[in-house]
Each structure stands twice: as C-alpha cells, then as structure tokens.
C-alpha cells in the first residue's frame, strides 16, 4: 500500500492544481460554474488526502506526524479541511484561490520527500503527542487561513473587486480563523506541556522551539484582544494576521530547518 | 482615583501593549539564546532561578532581556487577574464570556505556578543508581529513592528503546510509593516527579576460566572452591593504580587496569591475601597453591540514570491548564452562539 501513496499524493496534488487553474479561470471569465468546479476538485483532493492520511495512520498504528513529510501532509490536509469549512459556511468562493495556492506549495514541497513512515520512538508513543501535534497543525492551518484572508482583505480594500467577499465578511472570517486557531493552539500547548512533564519532568522548556511556541500563543492572544480596539480592526488586523503567519512559519520551518531544536523535522 | 487605577489595571490596551512588548523581547532573546549556547544551554537542567543566580547574573549584558520579559509577563498576569476579578463582579451580565475569562484565570495560574516553581523546588539530573542502591533526595530530609529493579528494553536491531526502573520512594524507611518508571510513565508523588534519563553499565568483576572447574565469575563477595580451599573476592576495581607496596587504588570506572583483591584459605596452610592485577598475571602465591585462572571477559552490572525534579507549582499549573482547557471549550461554544445571534465584538 505504501507504494501506492506517491501516485495517490500526486493525484491529490493534481486535483488541487486543477482547482487553482479553475479558480484562475473564474477570476478571468467570471463564470460561477468555474468556481463550483474548482470547489468540487478541492473536495475530491481533500477526500483523497483524507484517505491517504487514514491509510498511513492505520498502517503505522499511530498518527504519523513525526517528520517533515508527514507534518507537511497533515498541515496541508488541515488547511484544505479549514478551507472547505469556510467555503461551506461563508461561501468565500474566489478567496479560495490564495489558500489553495498555499496548499499547493505545502503539498508540492512534500512530494519529493520520502513518504516512508519512520518507527515511533517510545517517548512519542502517547495519545498526548497525537493530540499535541493534531491541535498544533490545525491551529497553524487556521493561522494560515487568517494570513490568506488578511492578504485578501488588503487586496480587496484596494481593488474592491466583486469577485472577492466584501470587507466585512473577510474581516469576520479572519477573526474567526484567528480565534479558532488560538483555541486549538492553546489545546496544543496544554497537551504538549502535560506530555513534557511526564516525559522529562518539566512542563516548559527553554528550548527555542518551546519558547517560540509560547510566542505564537502570546502573539495570537494579543490578536484576540486587538480585535476589540478600533485602531487594530480591519487593515491593522489584516497586517497582524500576515505578521502572525511569519511567526508561525518561523516556528514550524525556520527553527527546524535553520536552527537546532528539540523538535527536529527530519 | 481608585476606579481609574482599577480601569488601568484591567485595560485591554495595556494587555495588548504588554503582550506585544513581551513577544518582541522574547523573540530577540530567543535568538541571543541560540547564539550563546554556552551561557543559555544549561537553562533546562536547573531551576531558572538557580540558573539566573549563577550564569545569568554573570552574563547580565546578554541575559538582561530575561528578567525584563519576566517583569512584563508578571504585569500581564496582573492585568489578566484584574480582568478576571472585574468579570467576576459583573458575572450576571457577562456570563457568556465565561470561556474567555477561564482562559485568563488559567494563564494567571500557569504563570504563577511557573514563577513559584522557578524559585523553589529543584531539578536533579544524572542520578545513577545500581539495583538496591538508594538516593537521598536533595532538600527533602528523610526522603530516599531506591532502585529495586532495572531492565533496559532493546529492539530487534539491539538498539535500546526503553528503560524500566522499579523504584520505591521512602520517607524515614516507610514506603510512600512504588512504581515502574519508564518513558512517559513517571513516578509522581505530590510535587516530585521521577523520570528515566538513560542507563549504563559498570564492570563489577571478571569471568575466568578455571582449570578443572570451567567458567567462574569473580565478583566482590563470591567464594569459589579452588585447590582444596576457597578463593574469596574482597574487592574489584575496573581501573586501578598500583602502589609500590602492591596495593591498588581506585582510578576510574572505565575498564583499564582491572584488579581484584583476593583471599585464599586452604586448610593446613596460611591464608593469603593480596591484589591480582589481571594484566600482570596470577600472583605467585596463587600459582604456588596450584590455582590456575585465565581471565575471559568482564562481568557488567547495569545502572539506571534517573531525573528527579521537584516543582511545587506543578499542581497549580495543572489547575491552570484545566481552567484553560475548559475555557477554550466554553469560548468556542459561546463564539458560535454569539455569531448565530449576529452579535459583534465590543469596540473600544
């Protein structure tokens, strides 16, 4: 079954790629059929990715999120799930283009990597780890969605395009993304801290990854408050969403790839 | 005046300012940490308070951000606590904000617990225990930790995958708790936690081929029948230094110049006592007595390395975590409830 994973993943990538093409055509030709087709392709890609993830989970006996490939796969899956949620809930249509391009980048950069599932080391063999990672990447995915919506907010503010959701909806969905991301990331930190305590005897590590995870939480906690301050609403909030994604990106990839940490990616 | 001070303490803008300032400071500080591993590398191995009193204080020019961030976070904690108290006083009108304020309370508790744990308790790594040995616990008079059994687990490739240390926590000789400590399964007794660190082995004796007797293990305390008498092992040094008078002095635990202190008792003969340096060959009195020994390989004994930490704030931190957990669930439920009613956030 592992040998089938690469073609299936390539299939999911192709579905997302075609959905992006249809979204682009929709931007150009403005035909509702095109965005509907794009969304159907996203649903198909998401279903395929869910199958791959489920199959890998069943094969490994644990949620395989222990190396860069598998975290990228899970991150990409969570991002697609969140986009599907917002599309079904708010009908954000062409706003999906930006999210799906990000998803393509994420999945595309995972494809050349080895999909083999590494053996689980004993300290990771606990449901706390599974919850910690699942909440972490779902939180990251919401922050990525917020980044996309923040960027779109700035675009829409300048272009006032009928293709994009209006500013009020973009702001509302952005706030919801930040809020849900913050909630899930809080759960991630709780699970991670309890796990660290039982595994290493302390719940907060002064490792750079531990510190930046706390910074991600603190940053978005600040954002959850900033939405009540007039100056930070709208454009300010969109800019903060973009800046926050920078913090997330550094915490996820920057530390793992550029610096030494106790959360290695490979 | 008091109302104005209280409003300032509960201020949302103050919260955003403090959170932003702490975030920026810690971002910069984290990079300083990364590029000065000699100074900051030991932060996880001891209490932060102990680390700062020593290493941090000596390098204040690059560690100043740490106490500053601590002050900012403490102020943020005060702000969150004031907001929580303020909310409590208007609970009837603002009950739908329960989730958000439980998160505030949780944050305050975790912060307080961390500061408390930073200034009291202890962290003790690298406690090496052989089976049967006891470790008196630091700053806890009367408390000892005894290793009753130890078993490393290996995978099919021979790589160690886990360590099972059966430990007993005692107070004045009375058992408080006994548990098998392994990965993700610590011994937790109140604010004390014992987790596995690593394991190793020490040579405790040597195996020999005994002419006419096959293989024998000579370890301290053993008594082997030889040449019509008994050979008793009094001591074993894996690496010994030989003094001019032939006596041995312990040098290290690595296998280097092993020496065994022996005593030979034979009926009708004077007993002999001396050191046998394995690299030098059997002492002449043993040869004369007809003892024929050829060393084959060392006899090893495993030891467990345990981490013993005490954090008086751990229980409060857990209470804080539970408060945050409940807060998140409440906040999510109330968020969708409010959204379904079309309510928008208050704007300042």
- Write the pLDDT tens digit of every residue in B15-30: 999 999 999 999 999 9
* E strand or H helix that includes residue B292: none
Q: What does the pLDDT read at residue A254? A: 83
Q: What are the φ/ψ torsions at residue A47 (nearest 5 degrees)?
A: -60, -45
Give B343's pLDDT tier (boundaries 50, 70, 90). low
Q: What are the φ/ψ torsions at residue B152 (nearest 5 degrees)?
A: -80, 145
Strand order in the sheet with B223-226: B223-226, B229-237, B259-265, B272-277
Mean pLDDT of A1-18: 84
Q: What does the pLDDT read at residue B347? A: 46
CB B90 within 8 A of CB B127: no
* Interface A:B, Cβ pairs < 8 A: 120
**Which residues of B fall within a CB distance of 8 Å from A187?**
325, 328
Residue with tokens 């509907």: A36
**Which residues of A fall within a CB distance of 8 Å from B194?**
201
- Minimum-distance CB partner of B33 among A208, A215, A222: A208
Mean pLDDT of B151-158: 88
**Which residues of B fall within a CB distance of 8 Å from A212?**
27, 30
Nearest-CA distance B16 → chain A (Å): 5
E-strand ranges in chain B read 122-130, 134-136, 143-154, 160-171, 174-181, 187-189, 192-210, 214-218, 223-226, 229-237, 239-242, 248-252, 259-265, 272-277, 293-310
- With a CB cutoff of 8 Å and minimum separation 6, the contacts of A148 are A95, A98, A99, A102
Q: What does the pLDDT read at residue B172? A: 94
Predicted confidence (pLDDT) at residue A62 exceeds the cutoff of 80:
yes
Token digits of residue A71: 């975290």
CB B293 within 8 A of CB B282: yes
Burial classification of residue B66, based on how many CB atoms lie within 10 Å of its CB (0-12 exposed, 13-18 middle, 19 or more buried): buried
Token digits of residue A191: 């699970």
Nearest-CA distance B190 → chain A (Å): 13
CB B191 within 8 A of CB B312: yes
Beta-carbon separation of A215 and B331 below 8 A: no
| Model confidence pLDDT, tens digit, residues B34-87 | 899 999 998 988 999 999 999 999 999 999 999 999 999 999 999 999 999 999
Token digits of residue A78: 């969570």
- Minimum-distance CB partner of B15 among A201, A225, A260: A225
Q: What does the pLDDT read at residue A119? A: 83
| Model confidence pLDDT, tens digit, residues B209-242 | 988 778 999 999 999 998 889 999 999 999 999 9
Q: What does the pLDDT read at residue A264? A: 58
Nearest-CA distance A43 → chain B (Å): 24
């Amino acid at each position: 079954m592992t040998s089938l994973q690469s073609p299936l993943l390539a299939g999911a990538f192709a579905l997302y790629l075609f959905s992006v093409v249809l979204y682009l055509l929709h931007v150009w030709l403005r035909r509702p059929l095109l965005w509907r087709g794009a969304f159907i392709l996203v649903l198909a890609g998401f279903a395929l990715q869910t199958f791959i993830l489920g199959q890998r989970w069943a094969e490994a006996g644990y949620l395989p999120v222990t190396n860069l490939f598998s975290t990228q796969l899970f991150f990409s899956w969570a991002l697609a799930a969140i986009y599907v949620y917002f599309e079904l809930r708010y009908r954000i249509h062409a706003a999906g283009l930006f999210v799906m391009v990000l998803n393509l980048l994420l999945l595309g950069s995972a494809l050349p990597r080895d999909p083999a599932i590494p053996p689980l080391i004993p300290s990771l063999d606990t449901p706390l780890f599974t919850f910690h990672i699942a909440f972490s990447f779902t939180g990251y995915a919401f922050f990525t969605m917020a980044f996309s919506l923040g960027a779109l907010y700035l675009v829409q503010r300048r272009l006032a395009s009928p293709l994009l959701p209006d500013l009020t909806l973009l702001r509302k969905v952005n706030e919801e993304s930040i809020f849900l991301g913050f909630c899930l990331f809080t759960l991630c930190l709780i699970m991670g801290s309890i796990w660290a305590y039982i595994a290493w005897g302390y719940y907060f590590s002064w490792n750079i990854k531990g510190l930046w995870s706390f910074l991600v939480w603190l940053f978005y906690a600040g954002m959850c408050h900033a939405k009540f301050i007039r100056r930070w609403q709208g454009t300010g909030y969109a800019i903060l969403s973009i800046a926050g994604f920078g913090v997330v990106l550094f915490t996820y990839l920057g530390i793992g790839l550029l610096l030494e940490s106790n959360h290695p990616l490979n | 005046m008091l109302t104005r001070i209280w409003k300032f303490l509960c201020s949302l803008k103050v919260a955003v300012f403090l959170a932003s300032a702490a975030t920026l400071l810690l971002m910069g500080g984290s990079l300083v940490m990364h590029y000065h591993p000699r100074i900051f590398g030991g932060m996880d191995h001891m209490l932060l308070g102990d680390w700062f009193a020593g290493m941090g204080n000596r390098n204040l020019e690059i560690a100043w951000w740490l106490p500053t961030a601590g002050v900012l976070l403490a102020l943020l904690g005060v702000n969150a606590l004031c907001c929580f108290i303020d909310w409590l006083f208007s609970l009837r009108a603002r009950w739908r904000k329960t989730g958000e304020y439980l998160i505030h309370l949780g944050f305050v508790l975790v912060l307080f617990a961390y500061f408390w744990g930073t200034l009291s308790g202890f962290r003790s790594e690298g406690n090496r225990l052989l089976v049967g040995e006891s470790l008196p616990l630091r700053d806890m008079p009367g408390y000892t930790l005894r290793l009753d059994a130890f078993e490393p687990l290996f995978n099919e490739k021979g790589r160690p995958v886990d360590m099972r240390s059966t430990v007993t926590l005692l107070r004045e000789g009375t058992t408080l708790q006994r548990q098998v400590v392994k990965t993700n399964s610590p011994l937790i007794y109140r604010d004390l936690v014992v987790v596995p660190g690593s394991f190793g082995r020490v040579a405790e004796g040597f195996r020999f081929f005994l002419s006419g007797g096959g293989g024998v293990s000579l370890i301290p305390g053993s008594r082997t029948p030889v040449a019509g008498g008994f050979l008793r092992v009094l001591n074993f040094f894996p690496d010994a230094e030989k003094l001019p008078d032939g006596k041995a002095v312990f040098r290290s635990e690595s296998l280097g110049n092993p020496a065994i202190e022996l005593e030979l008792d034979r009926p009708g003969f004077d007993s002999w006592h001396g050191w046998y340096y394995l690299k030098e060959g059997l002492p002449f009195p043993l040869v004369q007595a007809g003892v024929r020994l050829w060393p084959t390989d060392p006899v090893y004994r495993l030891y467990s390395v345990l981490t013993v930490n005490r954090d008086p704030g751990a229980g409060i931190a857990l209470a804080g975590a539970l408060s945050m957990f409940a807060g998140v669930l409440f906040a999510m439920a109330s968020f969708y409830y409010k959204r379904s009613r079309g309510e928008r956030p208050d704007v300042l």
